Amino acid sequence: MKKALLCFLAVLVIASFFISDDETSPAEEGTMEVYFCPQDNCEGQLVAFLDSAQQSIHCALFDVGLESIQQKLAEKEKTIEVKVVTDNDYLRKFPEDFVKADKSGLMHNKFCIIDGQKIFTGSMNPTFNDANKNNNNLLLIASHYLAENYEAEFQELWRGIFKKGNSVKYPEITLSGIEIENYFCPDDDCIKQVVEELKQAQQSIYFLAFSFTSEEIASILLLKNLNGLEIKGVMETKQISEYSQFERLKTNGIKVIKDSNPNNLHHKVFIIDSETVITGSFNPTNGGNSRNDENILIINDRDTAKLFLQEFQQLYVI
């Protein structure tokens, strides 16, 4: 039985869409599903998600190389509004009339908004390797407020506003009782948001990182390690270089290992005190923070953290 089913489909069940009047930290009812690639059929989940759109699909996708996703977007474009922004390096893979390219830095997002009400985000690019070979996460979320955040970011990208823009409208929301923060890089300074969250750790920090070069984030991990917290991590082997924080962390006592996937560990995840998860497209790098368009979610929920801990434990193999 697939892990998603064993974890009740990782769905945080919902009632109807009730939206509060508190504009500072709005609350609503919604759903969140969490899947891990390749074991949870991320390709099938994303195809079904896009197929459910009735009015519009707006996507910011670094690389659109997965044939089933290309076909579904082209099919839906015949009957509803479909707009896609991709990185200039990958426009050749999907050169449709409804696709625009970013020509400066990296448009590194992986998100879609459907019908202005639901989003897909996480670390998975819609490519064959990311869906079927690389370790990734995929989140499908029904949230009016998060959809509004992502739609505003998409509209900036669609208008050619890259690597800048307005701060996120709803940085904090409550979704079916779950506190979620949402930020975009470089607009909202993702490194700052990650550092502030890591500072709150009291017991443990586990991380899964494709690329990790941020000295500032690494310094927080080292400080927390000195304070007696349990710090463990897995990093993508092919991304470890003179710029990586791998050797600095390992030399100073952090239990960090190289991943064993012959393809890629592509997560960008921190799990804090078994109750908070940071995930999205943002690698903990200075480039990701200042030169790319990225997004992150900070999810304060033990059930969600439990799912990510299970993924961490499968990948932290000494």
The pLDDT tens digits of the residues spanning 151-189 come to 999 999 999 999 999 999 999 999 999 999 999 999 999
Question: In the chain, which residues have pLDDT < 70?
Answer: 1-24
What's the confidence (pLDDT) of residue 226?
Answer: 97
Residue 265: exposure state from Cβ atoms within 10 A (0-12, 13-18, ≥19): buried
> Same topology for domains 3-14+28-180 and 190-315, yes or no?
yes
Fold of domain 3-14+28-180: Endonuclease; Chain A (3.30.870)
Average pLDDT for the chain:
93
Q: Exposed/middle/buried for 308, CB within 10 Å: 0-12, 13-18, 19+?
A: buried
Q: Specify the pTM.
A: 0.92
Q: What is the pLDDT of residue 230?
A: 98
**Any idea what the Cα angle at residue 72 is, between residues 283 and 159, rounded to 5°?**
55
pLDDT number for residue 25: 86
Each residue of 4-16: pLDDT tens digit?
433 334 444 333 3
Q: Which CATH number applies to 190-315? A: 3.30.870.10
Largest CA distance in the chain: 58
* Single-letter residue type at 29: E
What residue segments make up the domains of the chain, in order of their start?
A: 3-14+28-180, 190-315
Beta strands 110-114; 118-122: pairing state: antiparallel
